[in-house]
Amino acid sequence: MADSEQYHLEILDSLSDISAEEWNALLPSDAGPFLKHEFLSTLEETGCIGGNTGWQAAHLLVKDQNVLLGAMPLYLKQHSYGEFVFDWSWAQAYEQQGMQYFPKALSAIPFTPVQGSRILSAASSDADLVQGKIAEGLKTLVVQNNLSSAHVLFPHARELESFKKQGFMLRDSVQFHWHNQDFQSFEHFLSFLTMKRRKNIRREREKVAKEHISFRHVPGNTSTDQDWEFFYRCYENTYRDHHSNPYLNEAFLKLWVKRLPDNLHLIIAQREEMPIAASLLVVDPITSKVYGRYWGAIEHVPCLHFETAYYQAIEYCISHQIQTFEGGAQGEHKMARGFLPTTIQSAHYIADPQFSKAVKHFLDREHQGIGAYVDELAEHSPLKSTTVQL
């Protein structure tokens, strides 16, 4: 093992400059599909990242001579869209002091609020040493380039200590996850919920059934271009309804499923065999997790969102013995559908000492508030009081 003094850092402005084999060899067994070269490089190749998107790839590598020992997915951001940890108020306050907040450094999975490794290290390397070098390197990158800050969103808990040693501050976020308790059927799952929640879910499912809507589950490896063209139509329509532009494009979806077909699963709602809505699941059989990513419809049907994006997904998890269904960021309404709050953390480094101190006070207050919020949510658990909560 080389001495740490022999390590050096490099910036990679395109993931295509490194092979999928070399990048993926750094991934831990629980990395999941979002850290794979096939996902991140597809974002870049199809223009979802780069150009005028406000996302510029600047992946951080640590090497011993020419041997790749570690890496961090990293971007220079010109805005805070697509992150799910909101710092718009920080940016506004920073600029009110006559300082420039953007660009900032961001280590995250673009447009994807999932927890996972943010510091990747080769199996042959000293993981603690690589973690420390990259965390230190990220801070140095901010200072040397006069950036305002660095943000590491949803890293694994095992990585937090390396960031704390470099003066990063931790911030809490709340997500809602569904946990499989060896359910044998959807009705078995409902039996674990309070009577109020059971009745509400059955009523919502009945509304959809009365519309004569059926569902087609399409694994990625049997999906067609037409399936993805329809899904993109639904996905795009959701953004248009909210007067915003979609982060992803159709070319990305088609290339994604070509490269990682076994990790994707479409759920398509149809009336008389005509598709009217769709949702996408990202499946990780290794960690037994499913991630609910996107949903959309071309026709409004009451409760169709809940059925397509949640209940059909829960049925999929039960039938495939998937242990966890992550429903994404935000959404207290998910609790009424059997999801439970989960607190995860992000790490933030602010270069300006005075502003960093102000942010620290803000995060201390926010931490207390989120703790109280989670305690309040627990009082409204959808599970029966006799059910073991995970």
pLDDT digits (tens, 9 = 90+) for 154-210: 999 999 999 999 999 999 999 999 999 999 999 999 999 999 999 999 999 999 999
pLDDT in tens, 236-248: 999 988 889 999 9
Q: Please, which pLDDT band fits residue 4 given cuts at 50, 70 and 90?
A: low
* φ, ψ of residue 315 in degrees (nearest 5): -60, -40
CA distances from 173 to 84, 282, 293, 338, 347 (A): 9, 21, 18, 19, 11
Averaged pLDDT for residues 260-275 = 97
C-alpha span between 305 and 302 (Å, rounded): 8
Span of 213-222, 234-243, 346-355 with lowest mean pLDDT: 234-243
**Stretch 78-94: mean pLDDT:** 95
Backbone angles phi, psi at 161, to 5 degrees: -65, -40
Given this chain, do its domains 4-174+345-377 and 181-322 carry the same CATH topology?
A: yes
Task: Report the CATH fold assignment for 181-322.
Answer: Aminopeptidase (3.40.630)
* Domain residue limits, the chain: 4-174+345-377, 181-322
Fold of 4-174+345-377: Aminopeptidase (3.40.630)
> At residue 33, what are phi and psi to the nearest 5 degrees?
-75, -20
Reported as a pLDDT band with limits 50, 70 and 90, residue 152 is very high
**382: preceding bond cis by omega (within 30 degrees):** no
Provide the 3-class DSSP secondary structure of residue 241. helix
Lookup: tokens for 129: 């040493």
pLDDT at position 6: 79
State the pTM of this model. Answer: 0.95
Q: Residue 328 has what pLDDT?
A: 74
Per residue, what are the HEC states of 101-168? CCCEEEECCCCCCCCECCCEECCCCCHHHHHHHHHHHHHHHHHHCCCCEEEECCECHHHHHHHHHCCC
